[in-house]
Structure 1
Amino acid sequence: MERSEAIRLAIALGMMGGIVAGTLVYVQNPTASDDTDWDVDVSELSTEDNTSVCVVFFYSPGCPHCGNVEEFLAAVPDDVNLTVQRYEVRKEPARFDRYLEAYDVPESDRGSVPAVLVGEEYAIGDRPAIELIVNAIESGKTVRCPAVNETTS
């Protein structure tokens, strides 16, 4: 089994713990799926010496897709140098809008959560968000925290 397959399999097993959706209203990415068969083995994720990855994560309480991303982030080993800046969209709507504008997110995806920004890239939905984070970690490159006043191009 290849390393990436093993990584994805471990995530699948870890995510099977079940996610219970709350009663709060959230905007769902129409292309996201509710299944959680991730096939990433987080135990094999690592960052190279002196590298770090920063993730900006916008979520909504009760959103099952956001919960999938949260479970993934919680499963990342402590030795992975990962910084996560979490923002609840209901409490930080102006910040959310500024990031979406700075990253030139199409209108059709604006307002959808989970939204994850890593470096100069973004992802909307649980699967794309987790893939983006895994790819950033596996790249072995330092990815600093984006700021809304910075351009992304």
Structure 2
Amino acid sequence: MTDIDTLDRKILHQLQQDATLPLEELGNRVGLSRNACWRRVKQLEDAGFLRGRVALLDPEKLDLGLSVFIQIRTNRHDADWLARFASATRAMPEILGVYRMSGDLDYLVRARVADMKAYDRMYQRLIEKIELSDVSASFVMEDIKDTTALPVL
């Protein structure tokens, strides 16, 4: 399965809204029988369009109210440094995303922490593990849009 059709896209859209939908309800929403819907969901999973089903947690209720974007520049661009950087950032649960960037910035890191003190502790742990030449952080003052849903329709 390399291509998906309109019905597959509708299924993916519905699952992004609520992955706990019973197959019968999902089928009703996209215009398929329960069994036909199950077959399509299974094909989408087998083909890798569905990577997993997760619960979205409320960061405020978990005392993770501070969202931060960390801009990183490095003087090192060798494979060994990159492997150590990837290992260090993957091991830190506060770090939610790490992106190698084009342009002036080398890496953009997205993290969630309780407060500034928690950010500083995370930062100190990171620089203990890996050499960085320039680090700056921007703290989110307001989430205007934050979604995991991809535009499939």
TM over 0.5: no
Bigger Rg, structure 1 or 2 = 2
